[in-house]
Structure 1
Amino acid sequence: MYVLGIEAATPVAAVAVVDGEKLLAERMVHNQRTHSVNLLPMIKAVLEDAEVKYNVLSGIAVSAGPGSFTGLRIGMATAKTLAQVWGLPVVGVSTLEALAHPLTGQKGLICPILNARKNEVYAAIYRTTDGRLELLDGPMAVEPGELARNLKQRKTPVTILGDGVPVYGRFFQAELGTQLFLAPGSARWPRGAAVAELGYRRLRDGGGVDPLALLPQYIRPPEAEVKWMQKIKR
């Protein structure tokens, strides 16, 4: 089962093609160009690298959030448009789960964090159970102090990863001490391969949906929506 994975919910644009749980090709860029410029050429290239035609794909997986509102819209629109044109089911994958997925099997807790601005992080808490990630808490938009208290009371080693680490890593080190492990910089961004592999599992189990039915996981409303609601309440 060939699946195309698309990640655009963070500053990184990443795409991959898997055959089941076998990675065939992957590309990732972190540059100043917008995802709307990067994604389509990357998708074309990764299909060529994998030597896979679009008409043999079984579905498309896309990072569904939380993350950048603009990036989410671009990634979701790209995945949904291609799925509709190619007649494929599409599946949304949590950006936080995609971040945590490569650490499956690690002892203790796994806590991906994304910088949500406004002194908040997007976060979730996982552990490995029977070889798969188990979601214990989240996804949530939370102040770092509240998340640190949540993790501290669990009294279990925890690995933190994601683009929130450069911003809040020292804070969590001070709060959690030897309970905390920081994943390396190479684990800072969600990979297209993780999105594709998780998407494959959902599609295999019948989790694909019509492109028009797929919605992003914002967690908190976009700033434009907040301002509009404030305006109409006046």
Structure 2
Amino acid sequence: MKMLAIDTSTHVLGIALADEQKILGEYTTNIKKNHSVRLMPAVESLMKESGVVPEELDAIAVTTGPGSYTGVRIGVTTAKSMAWALNIPLYPVSTLQVFAQNGLGFPGLVSPLIDARRNQVYTAAFSGSTEQNAVTRQMKDQIILLPEWLKVLEQTQEKILFVGEDTGSRQEQIRERLGSRAVFADWMGQTIRPAEIIRVARTAGEARDAHTVVPEYAQLAEAEKNWQKAQSGRSE
């Protein structure tokens, strides 16, 4: 079974291609350039270099957020279009769960962090200890003020490994609250490895019809909030 994975939910652009036995190819950049311009050329190049034509794909996996509103939309729309055109299933995967794979095997909780502005983070909690090559979800994906999230984690009494792109700038704030219970991933744990999207999809994912897959923002986008506010004002 050949599967293509796509991630554009943060500044990182990631693509992977694998069959049942091995990773055929993987592509990652973290250079904050336009995903909408670079995604399809990157997919085409990776598939060509791997000797795989689109008709040989059996499924596609995509990170559906939470993360960058524009980035999530680009990745999900591209994956949906490809899956629909090829008539193959699409596996939606939480961006936070794939980030948490960086903590696979950690003897405690794994908490991925993605900046959501105004001292808020997109986050969740997973158990790093597993026998199935995938972390186990303990708390749902959510957007929350970081101090409030640290209060939640305080109650667990476990060591917590923080992974993801927003860990570096938050270390002092986290240590003040959790002390030695806070552990931080190194630079390798600050980005998603695209092949992990495929592992999560195969281990814990659900094949879906492309039309049923939607972005998971964990909150309304700013444009939607403004629109709803405007509509509410008109109805008063």
TM-score band, normalised by the shorter chain?
over 0.9
2:231 maps to a residue whose letter is I
| Superposed counterparts of 1:166-205, under 5 Å | 166-201=168-203
Asked whether the 8 Å contact 1:6–1:63 carries over to 2, the reply is: yes
Shift of 1:21: 6.2
Asked whether the 8 Å contact 1:10–1:189 carries over to 2, the reply is: no
After TM superposition, the score normalised by the length of structure 1 is: 0.93
Question: What CA deviation, in whole Å up to 9, does each residue of 1:17-65 have, x standing for no partner?
Answer: 1123632210011224210111111111221233222212110000001
In structure 2, the residue corresponding to 1:28 is in which secondary structure? strand
Percent identity over the alignment is 29
After TM superposition, the score normalised by the length of structure 2 is: 0.92
Question: What CA deviation, in whole Å up to 9, does each residue of 1:4-23 have, x standing for no partner?
Answer: 00000111110001123632
How many residues align? The count is 231
- Higher RCO, Cα 8 Å, sep 6+: 1
Structure 2: unaligned runs, 5 residues or longer: none
Name the counterpart of 2:94: 94
Question: What CA deviation, in whole Å up to 9, does each residue of 1:182-216 have, x standing for no partner?
Answer: 0011211222111122223356xxx2222111111
Shift of 1:229: 1.1
Distance 1:21 1:147, change over 3 A: farther
Q: Quote the Cα distance in structure 1 between the aligned partners of 2:21 and 2:97.
A: 16
Q: Quote the Cα distance in structure 2 between the aligned partners of 1:174 and 1:25.
A: 41
Q: Quote the Cα distance in structure 2 between the aligned partners of 1:200 and 1:137.
A: 21
Shift of 1:226: 0.6
Distance 1:113 1:10, change over 3 A: same
2:142 maps to a residue whose letter is M
In structure 2, the residue corresponding to 1:10 is in which secondary structure? coil
2:155 maps to a residue whose letter is Q
- RMSD over aligned CA atoms reads 1.5
Q: Which moved more, 1:81-90 or 1:49-58?
A: 49-58
In structure 1, the residue corresponding to 2:73 is in which secondary structure? helix
Asked whether the 8 Å contact 1:4–1:18 carries over to 2, the reply is: yes
Structure 1: unaligned runs, 5 residues or longer: none
Residue 149 of structure 2: which of 124, 147, 152 is its match?
A: 147
